[in-house]
């Protein structure tokens, strides 16, 4: 039986909710460092690097044996990385660009076992097709405030779902934590889910 403490290095309520679905007991210790985005890296490598930075930062600040889970989600359209919008204007630009197009949602995962110093990283990719979104719909959606703390300026688990025509791949990845892949990585580290 796995007795090591599990720590989620994220303040995201969506990630906490998803991790709770697995029935694991965990603590939340958000990373505080600024994300260092390397524009030279391919998007999948960038997502993994950002997730690792978060997990590593938190692992370094904890004295007890633990397993730290870091995650970072980015939206990629035609090779361009879309992070969280800085303001309503940027959210409008992002949603206008995503309208009628297919993009990728990439979540980097990093698991660090503080005791053994073992680290595992992975990037999950889901294809998302947006329907054509009318300008007035974009403005009304931004007025809800929902897009302002989400990569790509939309939340599939909220009102933003009305813009998603279809997805190919893992739904929970688009929310922010690919549960099937996380379960595989946890199993590789000796953490039973079932």
For residue 34, with 0-12 CB atoms within 10 Å meaning exposed, 13-18 middle and 19 or more buried, which class applies? exposed
Residue 87 confidence (pLDDT)? 96
Residue 3 confidence (pLDDT)? 63
Q: Which residues are catalytic?
A: 72
pTM score, two decimals? 0.92
Ordered mean pLDDT values, 10 residues apiece, the chain (194 residues): 80 93 92 73 95 94 90 95 94 97 98 89 98 97 94 95 97 96 91 82
The beta strand positions in the chain, using DSSP E, are: 5-8, 27-28, 66-77, 80-82, 102-113, 119-130, 164-168
The beta strand positions in 29-185, using DSSP E, are: 66-77, 80-82, 102-113, 119-130, 164-168
Residue 61 confidence (pLDDT)? 87
What domains, with CATH codes, occur in the chain?
5-188 (3.90.950.10)
Residue 1 confidence (pLDDT)? 45
């Amino acid at each position: 039986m796995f007795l090591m403490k599990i720590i989620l290095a994220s303040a995201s309520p969506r990630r906490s909710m998803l991790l709770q679905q697995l029935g694991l007991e965990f603590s939340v210790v958000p990373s505080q460092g600024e994300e260092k985005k390397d524009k030279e890296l391919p998007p999948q490598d960038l997502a993994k690097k950002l997730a690792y930075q978060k997990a590593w930062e938190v692992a370094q600040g904890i004295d007890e044996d633990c397993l730290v889970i870091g995650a970072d989600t980015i939206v990629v359209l035609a090779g361009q990385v879309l992070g969280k919008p800085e303001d309503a204007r940027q959210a409008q630009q992002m949603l206008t660009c995503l309208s009628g197009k297919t993009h990728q949602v990439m979540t980097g995962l990093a698991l660090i076992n503080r005791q053994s110093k073992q680290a595992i990283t992975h990037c999950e990719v889901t294809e998302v097709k947006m329907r054509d979104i009318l300008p007035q719909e974009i403005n009304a959606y931004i007025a809800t405030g929902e897009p302002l703390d989400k990569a790509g300026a939309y939340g599939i688990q909220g009102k933003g779902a009305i813009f998603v025509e279809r997805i190919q791949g893992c739904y929970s990845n688009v929310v922010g934590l690919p549960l099937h892949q996380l379960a595989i990585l946890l199993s590789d580290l000796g953490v039973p889910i079932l």
